[in-house]
Structure 1
């Protein structure tokens, strides 16, 4: 579950939002009153959501957004006229006075977005090592010499057979090399 950090200049505001979230089943990792505290805590976590106000004693929300590590999203809560100044596409905004239902539904949307991003990261293919690339190249060369294939045909042959057998390309290349 993504981390939640709540940051407002007044600790009472942060605690009020924390209490609402906890009552609705969310776990809040930290409440802060300065941007520096948020950055310090965020750097210790993998990803998450920063729920914050417009201005802190040490920085503006836009500066805080620039300091956040990759994987964090920001939910800015401010008055409607302050939100008009927010032109950042990566910041989700809610205007004051805030409705509990709006806060919860917005948070759910942000959670889904983070879950989608995590899944996409996991599904990215891992880069092959030089050793693995060399094994595949050797198998291609063997296929090209013995079967008069082009490099592209040899690659497709290894790829198709690895998919058909449910093995990865490196394992299929090793099988081809051991057979020939």
Structure 2
């Protein structure tokens, strides 16, 4: 069973990156890229809306902290380095593992990060989508029409649009547009 998490492995030494990639793949993780520079990581991440970067303290062109500053907020970073490199100044949003590395620590920590990202994505999906002013205006206009022509309360009109939206597989804005065009 492979874990889908958009994992990018980045170390300045290609042999370090390949050995970490092999460890992860043997433990069921899918690694989408192996990089030696921060620029390569950022290039790979452009195509992803979230991912996990497993990296060392220093890449060929930047430090882990500079890379983290360039990554989007939805992405996570797991930095593997000697504790004296990060113990005092590691950013709060970077998970750090000490060298020498224990395989079960790496696997367990990565599983925890993957689960945290999955929970965060699920929570975001469950939040109601924010509508812009134009969409709210169209929905309010459709509700007003339903209230006027069908003697509905605002709540009944809202539920009607909501139910039609779910039944037709469209969002409320599109459904409101249809209601307006039909009336």
Same fold (TM > 0.5): yes
Q: Is the 8 A contact 1:83 1:95 kept in 2?
A: no
1:30 matched to 2:33? The reply is yes
Structure 1, gaps ≥5 residues long: none
Give the TM-score, by structure 2 length. 0.76
Give the Cα separation in 1 of the matches to 2:135 and 2:85. Answer: 56
Give the Cα separation in 1 of the matches to 2:13 and 2:67. Answer: 17
Q: Is the 8 A contact 1:80 1:96 kept in 2?
A: yes
How many residue pairs get matched? 170
In the TM superposition, residue 52 of structure 1 has moved relative to its aligned partner by 0.4
1:44 matched to 2:44? The reply is no
1:13 maps to: 16
Give the TM-score, by structure 1 length. 0.77
Give the Cα separation in 2 of the matches to 1:135 and 1:160. Answer: 12
Give the Cα separation in 2 of the matches to 1:32 and 1:84. Answer: 25
CA RMSD of aligned residues (A): 3.0
* Match runs of 1:51-130 below 5 Å: 51-126=54-129, 127=131, 130=134
In the TM superposition, residue 117 of structure 1 has moved relative to its aligned partner by 2.2
In the TM superposition, residue 167 of structure 1 has moved relative to its aligned partner by 4.2
Give the Cα separation in 2 of the matches to 1:44 and 1:145. Answer: 48
Q: Which moved more, 1:82-91 or 1:104-113?
A: 82-91
1:158 matched to 2:157? The reply is yes
